Amino acid sequence: MKKYILPSVILTGLLAILLAGIYPLSLSGIARFAPGNGGGEKVLFNDRIVGYANVGQKFTADKYFQGRPSAIDYNASGSGGSNKGPSNPDYLKIVQNRIDTFMVHNPGVKKEEIPVELVTASGSGLDPDLSPAAARVQVPRIAKIRGIEVEKLYNLIDQQTEKQFFGLGPNKINILKLNVALDQIK
């Protein structure tokens, strides 16, 4: 019995030190080289923090680009999806309501032109990014409300698009940063 207990206690102690001490500290050290030094990238407007770039925000006014829907109403204290499958009737009603709402606010857009990410929530419920196509489909509405040339908004989207990282992943746009840049247009 002693033959099994002592190695188990030693292994447990070593793993506790490694996984509860060394590993988290090393990740914290690596995070210091990330934008925001591991505390999240703050987005400023008029020298005020308006949000964090790594957490989705809720924009409901038609004069702004809307982001991806959230199953948890953008509550950053916890993340999660709806856990409803794509064939769940309740989920299908929610998506249909989002499609209908989008079409009311964007009357010139056909149903098949709506990017799927504008009507489906992400797994975390906090996705801060959209594809350039999802931003572009909203341009006519924003141009009309703000009295800005459509071409100017397309250029803004191009300027705010984050390109692939070493050819990996999609091009994306952070909606909070895009809306802050939109507010800065005279």
Distance (Å, whole) CA 138 – CA 104: 12
pLDDT per residue as tens digits for the range 100-142: 999 999 998 999 999 999 999 888 888 899 999 999 999 999 9
Averaged pLDDT score across all residues of the chain: 90
Q: Write phi, then psi, for 60 (nearest 5 degrees).
A: -110, -20
Distance (Å, whole) CA 41 – CA 180: 14
What's the pLDDT score for residue 55? 85
